[in-house]
Amino acid sequence: MDLSHYHIKEARILVIDDEIINIEIMEILLERAGFFNLGLFTSPVEAIKHYKGSPPDLVLLDLNMPVLTGFDVIQHFDTLHNDLKTPKPPILMITALLDQEIRLKALNSGARDFLNKPFNDQEVLSRVHNLLEMHLAHKANIHYSNKLEELVSQRTEELLKTQQEIIQRLSLAAEFKDTDTGNHTLRVGLYSAILAKQLGLDSSEIEQLRLAAPMHDVGKIGIPDQILLKTGKLTQEEWETMQTHTTLGYKILKDSDSILLKNASIIALTHHEKWDGSGYPYGIKGEDIHLYGRITAIVDVFDALTMQRPYKKAWSIEDSVHFITEGAGTHFDPRIVTAFNEIIEQLNDVRATIQ
């Protein structure tokens, strides 16, 4: 274990003994051994204050003291440590008592080892060194674990950002086949998130929709340009080909291990299904259509209607809202249409910002 951040001789040692002679002996002994980061107290009350402001790496604690016994001090330390972010230091109990019951009580209270009075210099230093080595190794391990967790969190965040960027560019690739900008996909994602929030979805689902809904038309990558960009009415055969963009998008996305891409695959597959079962590709209806698909269906139609395309002029906001409202119960989920009408101003703000 690397203890470079926690050199033993730099450790903070707190010594508490009501007899000044014992404090002086311990001070001389520890300083001769190279320990200078010492807190020396004959008053347990003052020692407790010091402990809170500068948590030690080791406590040498006299058991029998007036006002507060060693047991009392340990209880105070335990209470203080609830607010501290450092591991509890080992306690080396100083006692002249050899009573087995008292020693057992001390161990049960949190003492890690004992020093008998009068002191044996070599024994003191050996026990101090052993306990410090153990405690500092524990601190080093915690430090390493925290750094590792921080690194993993950072790499996970970087990976998520990379994944999101790839997803956004995949969405744009499909959109550029249909328009000269990728703003439709951006708006659909934002519209979906706003609508999801209005419907009371939790924050994680709102974010999922914001990121996944832009991929609703990714299957258009597989639709020939002569059909996708045709200005006139599509033939029946061409229309059937156009409808396959839903299943193509699903196939592109469905096998990913990413929850985000799995949700996007569901949206791609279901955003052209209709509430009354007259949609495509499978003609499912009502709540059998995934909620994400029902949400995306409304905002996709809203944005498509208000956009100019090679085959149509842009509709007004009023006409587009009227069309969607009229489609409640047939094309669209009536509950979601109600929520949609409650957020028109927010959608218009997004549209004014992202043209």
pLDDT along the chain (355 residues), means of 10: 62 94 94 94 93 91 89 88 80 82 84 86 92 89 84 81 73 64 83 97 95 91 87 91 95 89 94 97 97 97 85 88 97 98 95 86
Cis peptide preceding 90, ω within 30 of 0:
no
pLDDT of residue 232: 83
Please say whether the beta carbons of 325 and 333 come within 8 A. no
Is this prediction's pTM over 0.75? no
Rounded to 5 degrees, what angle do the CA atoms 220, 223, 229 make?
90
Structural domains present in the chain? 8-150 (3.40.50.2300), 177-353 (1.10.3210.10)
**Distance between CA atoms of 74 and 59, rounded to whole angstroms?**
10
pLDDT of 1: 42
- What distance in Å separates the CA atoms of residue 153 and residue 149, rounded to the nearest whole number? 6
Would you call 88 a catalytic residue per the annotation? no
Here the contacts of 232-236 (C-beta below 8 Å, separation 24 or greater) are 232/311
Where does residue 34 fall: left (phi above 0), alpha (psi -120 to 50 degrees), or beta otherwise?
left
pLDDT, position 310: 64
Give the pairing type, strands 58-62 and 38-41: unpaired
What pLDDT is attached to residue 144?
Answer: 84
Please report the pLDDT score of residue 182 as a whole number. 61
Q: How far apart are the C-alpha atoms of 264 and 40, rounded to whole Å?
A: 65
Among 88, 139, 161, 220, the active-site one is 220
The pLDDT assigned to 2 comes to: 45
- Are 235 and 247 in contact by the 8 Å Cβ rule? The answer is no
The predicted pLDDT at position 178 comes to 61
